[in-house]
Amino acid sequence: MYVVVVGGGNVGYYLTKELLAAGHEVVMIEKDPSRARTIADELGSIVIPNDGCEGRYQAEAGMARADVVAAVTGDDEDNLVACQVAKMRFNVPRAIARVNNPKNEALFRRLAIDDTVSPTRAILAVIEHEIPIHDLLHLAELERGDVQVVEAQLDASSPAIGRMLRDLELPEGSTIAVIVRDDHAIAARSDTALRVGDSVLAITSAEHEAELRSLLIGE
Protein backbone atom coordinates (compact mmCIF):
# COMPACT_ATOMS: atom_id res chain seq x y z
CA MET A 1 0.00 0.00 0.00
CA TYR A 2 1.12 3.56 -0.62
CA VAL A 3 0.80 5.68 2.50
CA VAL A 4 1.52 9.37 3.03
CA VAL A 5 2.21 10.26 6.65
CA VAL A 6 1.79 13.92 7.61
CA GLY A 7 3.78 14.86 10.72
CA GLY A 8 7.08 13.49 11.93
CA GLY A 9 6.64 13.62 15.67
CA ASN A 10 6.89 10.46 17.72
CA VAL A 11 3.67 9.03 16.33
CA GLY A 12 4.61 9.81 12.72
CA TYR A 13 8.12 8.48 13.14
CA TYR A 14 7.15 5.13 14.66
CA LEU A 15 4.20 4.77 12.29
CA THR A 16 6.47 5.30 9.28
CA LYS A 17 9.02 2.86 10.64
CA GLU A 18 6.42 0.16 11.23
CA LEU A 19 4.84 0.67 7.82
CA LEU A 20 8.22 0.42 6.09
CA ALA A 21 9.04 -2.73 8.06
CA ALA A 22 5.75 -4.23 6.94
CA GLY A 23 6.75 -3.63 3.33
CA HIS A 24 4.57 -0.63 2.53
CA GLU A 25 5.65 2.33 0.47
CA VAL A 26 5.71 5.44 2.64
CA VAL A 27 6.43 9.14 2.20
CA MET A 28 6.44 11.46 5.19
CA ILE A 29 5.87 15.21 5.16
CA GLU A 30 7.37 17.03 8.16
CA LYS A 31 7.37 20.80 8.54
CA ASP A 32 10.43 21.20 10.77
CA PRO A 33 13.51 20.90 8.52
CA SER A 34 15.89 19.70 11.22
CA ARG A 35 13.45 17.05 12.43
CA ALA A 36 12.89 16.01 8.79
CA ARG A 37 16.67 15.65 8.29
CA THR A 38 17.06 13.56 11.44
CA ILE A 39 14.37 11.15 10.27
CA ALA A 40 15.71 11.06 6.70
CA ASP A 41 19.18 10.21 8.04
CA GLU A 42 17.73 7.10 9.60
CA LEU A 43 14.92 6.04 7.28
CA GLY A 44 16.23 7.28 3.93
CA SER A 45 15.10 9.97 1.53
CA ILE A 46 11.40 9.51 2.07
CA VAL A 47 10.87 12.76 3.97
CA ILE A 48 9.60 15.98 2.39
CA PRO A 49 10.68 18.85 4.65
CA ASN A 50 7.62 21.04 4.26
CA ASP A 51 4.07 21.86 5.28
CA GLY A 52 1.92 18.79 4.75
CA CYS A 53 -1.25 20.88 4.61
CA GLU A 54 -0.16 22.55 1.38
CA GLY A 55 -1.35 21.11 -1.90
CA ARG A 56 1.97 21.44 -3.70
CA TYR A 57 3.89 19.44 -1.09
CA GLN A 58 1.15 16.84 -1.05
CA ALA A 59 1.54 16.67 -4.85
CA GLU A 60 5.29 16.25 -4.38
CA ALA A 61 4.58 13.40 -1.98
CA GLY A 62 2.54 11.68 -4.70
CA MET A 63 -0.74 12.10 -2.87
CA ALA A 64 -2.68 11.54 -6.11
CA ARG A 65 -1.72 7.86 -6.09
CA ALA A 66 -1.81 7.37 -2.31
CA ASP A 67 -4.11 4.70 -0.89
CA VAL A 68 -4.09 6.21 2.58
CA VAL A 69 -3.15 9.52 4.16
CA ALA A 70 -2.47 9.50 7.91
CA ALA A 71 -2.32 12.96 9.51
CA VAL A 72 -0.71 12.50 12.90
CA THR A 73 0.68 15.87 13.99
CA GLY A 74 0.05 17.11 17.51
CA ASP A 75 -2.42 19.74 16.27
CA ASP A 76 -5.98 18.75 15.44
CA GLU A 77 -6.46 21.68 13.07
CA ASP A 78 -3.42 20.70 11.02
CA ASN A 79 -4.57 17.09 10.85
CA LEU A 80 -8.02 18.19 9.73
CA VAL A 81 -6.73 20.46 6.99
CA ALA A 82 -4.13 17.96 5.76
CA CYS A 83 -6.87 15.33 5.38
CA GLN A 84 -9.31 17.73 3.77
CA VAL A 85 -6.75 18.90 1.21
CA ALA A 86 -5.81 15.27 0.45
CA LYS A 87 -9.46 14.33 -0.05
CA MET A 88 -10.52 17.46 -1.92
CA ARG A 89 -7.59 17.88 -4.28
CA PHE A 90 -6.24 14.37 -4.64
CA ASN A 91 -9.26 12.16 -3.95
CA VAL A 92 -7.33 9.95 -1.56
CA PRO A 93 -9.61 6.99 -0.80
CA ARG A 94 -8.87 6.84 2.91
CA ALA A 95 -7.95 9.67 5.27
CA ILE A 96 -7.04 8.94 8.87
CA ALA A 97 -6.60 11.72 11.42
CA ARG A 98 -5.13 11.72 14.89
CA VAL A 99 -7.49 13.65 17.14
CA ASN A 100 -6.18 15.01 20.42
CA ASN A 101 -9.37 16.58 21.70
CA PRO A 102 -11.87 13.68 21.64
CA LYS A 103 -14.71 16.14 21.12
CA ASN A 104 -13.32 16.89 17.66
CA GLU A 105 -14.04 13.36 16.45
CA ALA A 106 -17.64 14.26 15.68
CA LEU A 107 -16.56 17.22 13.54
CA PHE A 108 -13.94 15.24 11.68
CA ARG A 109 -16.38 12.45 10.85
CA ARG A 110 -18.91 14.96 9.63
CA LEU A 111 -16.26 16.46 7.37
CA ALA A 112 -15.71 13.14 5.58
CA ILE A 113 -12.52 12.14 7.36
CA ASP A 114 -12.76 8.35 7.12
CA ASP A 115 -11.17 7.38 10.43
CA THR A 116 -10.17 9.20 13.56
CA VAL A 117 -7.89 7.92 16.27
CA SER A 118 -7.99 9.66 19.60
CA PRO A 119 -5.23 8.63 22.02
CA THR A 120 -7.01 10.67 24.69
CA ARG A 121 -10.18 8.66 24.27
CA ALA A 122 -8.27 5.39 24.17
CA ILE A 123 -6.54 6.12 27.47
CA LEU A 124 -9.80 7.34 28.95
CA ALA A 125 -11.46 4.07 27.95
CA VAL A 126 -8.70 2.05 29.61
CA ILE A 127 -9.06 4.06 32.81
CA GLU A 128 -12.84 3.72 32.77
CA HIS A 129 -12.53 -0.04 32.40
CA GLU A 130 -10.07 -0.31 35.27
CA ILE A 131 -11.87 1.89 37.75
CA PRO A 132 -15.30 0.85 38.98
CA ILE A 133 -17.70 3.37 37.62
CA HIS A 134 -21.24 4.26 38.33
CA ASP A 135 -22.15 5.38 34.91
CA LEU A 136 -22.84 3.95 31.51
CA LEU A 137 -19.70 3.19 29.57
CA HIS A 138 -19.88 4.34 25.97
CA LEU A 139 -18.67 1.60 23.69
CA ALA A 140 -19.67 2.93 20.30
CA GLU A 141 -21.66 5.62 18.58
CA LEU A 142 -23.92 4.96 15.60
CA GLU A 143 -25.81 7.37 13.39
CA ARG A 144 -23.45 10.20 14.36
CA GLY A 145 -24.11 9.76 18.05
CA ASP A 146 -27.91 9.49 17.91
CA VAL A 147 -27.64 5.82 18.79
CA GLN A 148 -25.31 4.72 21.58
CA VAL A 149 -23.95 1.30 22.43
CA VAL A 150 -23.38 1.32 26.17
CA GLU A 151 -22.33 -1.00 28.95
CA ALA A 152 -23.62 -0.98 32.52
CA GLN A 153 -21.86 -2.82 35.34
CA LEU A 154 -24.43 -3.91 37.85
CA ASP A 155 -23.51 -3.78 41.52
CA ALA A 156 -25.68 -4.39 44.57
CA SER A 157 -27.10 -0.88 44.43
CA SER A 158 -28.63 -1.42 40.99
CA PRO A 159 -32.44 -1.35 41.01
CA ALA A 160 -32.44 -3.99 38.26
CA ILE A 161 -30.92 -6.76 40.41
CA GLY A 162 -33.16 -9.81 40.63
CA ARG A 163 -35.53 -8.56 37.96
CA MET A 164 -36.23 -10.35 34.72
CA LEU A 165 -35.72 -8.43 31.52
CA ARG A 166 -39.41 -8.51 30.67
CA ASP A 167 -40.14 -6.70 33.93
CA LEU A 168 -37.78 -3.87 33.16
CA GLU A 169 -39.55 -0.93 31.66
CA LEU A 170 -36.93 -0.06 29.10
CA PRO A 171 -37.20 3.43 27.66
CA GLU A 172 -38.32 3.85 24.07
CA GLY A 173 -35.69 3.03 21.51
CA SER A 174 -33.60 1.03 23.99
CA THR A 175 -32.84 -2.65 23.96
CA ILE A 176 -30.58 -4.96 25.93
CA ALA A 177 -28.35 -6.81 23.50
CA VAL A 178 -26.33 -9.19 25.59
CA ILE A 179 -25.31 -9.85 29.19
CA VAL A 180 -21.76 -10.72 30.14
CA ARG A 181 -21.72 -12.93 33.24
CA ASP A 182 -18.53 -14.53 34.58
CA ASP A 183 -16.73 -13.65 31.35
CA HIS A 184 -19.35 -15.39 29.23
CA ALA A 185 -21.88 -13.75 26.98
CA ILE A 186 -25.40 -14.93 27.64
CA ALA A 187 -28.41 -14.19 25.50
CA ALA A 188 -30.70 -11.44 26.73
CA ARG A 189 -33.99 -13.34 26.93
CA SER A 190 -37.15 -12.01 28.46
CA ASP A 191 -36.87 -14.45 31.39
CA THR A 192 -33.21 -13.72 32.11
CA ALA A 193 -32.85 -12.29 35.61
CA LEU A 194 -30.10 -9.81 36.29
CA ARG A 195 -27.46 -10.49 38.97
CA VAL A 196 -24.80 -8.53 40.80
CA GLY A 197 -21.64 -8.46 38.70
CA ASP A 198 -23.48 -8.67 35.39
CA SER A 199 -22.31 -6.49 32.62
CA VAL A 200 -25.23 -5.39 30.50
CA LEU A 201 -24.65 -4.29 26.92
CA ALA A 202 -27.45 -2.14 25.64
CA ILE A 203 -28.32 -0.07 22.64
CA THR A 204 -30.17 3.16 23.26
CA SER A 205 -31.11 6.39 21.61
CA ALA A 206 -29.07 9.29 22.94
CA GLU A 207 -32.17 11.07 24.25
CA HIS A 208 -33.25 8.13 26.43
CA GLU A 209 -29.82 7.30 27.73
CA ALA A 210 -30.43 8.96 31.11
CA GLU A 211 -33.59 6.89 31.71
CA LEU A 212 -31.72 3.68 30.86
CA ARG A 213 -28.96 4.70 33.22
CA SER A 214 -31.30 5.16 36.19
CA LEU A 215 -33.02 1.87 35.40
CA LEU A 216 -29.81 -0.17 35.31
CA ILE A 217 -27.49 1.71 37.63
CA GLY A 218 -29.74 3.77 39.84
CA GLU A 219 -29.52 7.37 40.90
Partner 1 sequence: MRVIIIGCGRVGAMTAATLDERGDHVTVIDVEQRAFTRLPSTFGGVTVRGSGTDEDVLRSAGAEMAELLIALTQGDNRNAMSAQLGKHIFGIPRVIAKINDPLRAEAYRTLGLETICRTVVLADALVLAAAEGAEATNGAVKPPTAEPRQGTPPRGSRASAQAPAAPEES
User: Shortest approach of partner 1 to residue 139 CB, angstroms?
Assistant: 22
Min. distance of Cβ 150 from partner 1 in angstroms? 22
CB of 102 to partner 1, least distance (A): 10
Largest CA distance in the chain: 67
- 55 or 197, CB closer to partner 1? 55
CA dihedral 119, 120, 122, 124 (to 10 degrees): 160
The nearer residue to partner 1, 6 or 216, going by C-beta atoms, is 6
Angle at 52 between CA 48 and CA 53, to 5 degrees: 160
Give 77 or 135: the residue with its C-beta nearer to partner 1.
77
Report the alpha-carbon distance of residue 199 to residue 183 in Å, rounded.
Answer: 9
Angle at 142 between CA 207 and CA 216, to 5 degrees: 50
Closest approach, Cβ 83 to partner 1, in A, equals: 11
Question: How far, CA to CA in Å, does 26 sit from each of 33, 43, 71, 81?
Answer: 18, 10, 13, 20
Q: Which is nearer to partner 1, 68 or 81 (CB)?
A: 81
CB atoms within 10 A of CB 12: 25
Pairing state between β 94-98 and 68-71: parallel
Which residues in this chain contact partner 1 in the complex, by CB under 8 A?
53-55, 75-78, 80-81, 84-85, 88-89, 101, 103-104, 106-107, 110-111
Nearer to partner 1 (CB atom), residue 8 or residue 154: 8
Provide, rounded to whole angstroms, the least separation between the CB of residue 85 and partner 1: 7
Helix (H, G, I), strand (E, B) or coil at 139: strand
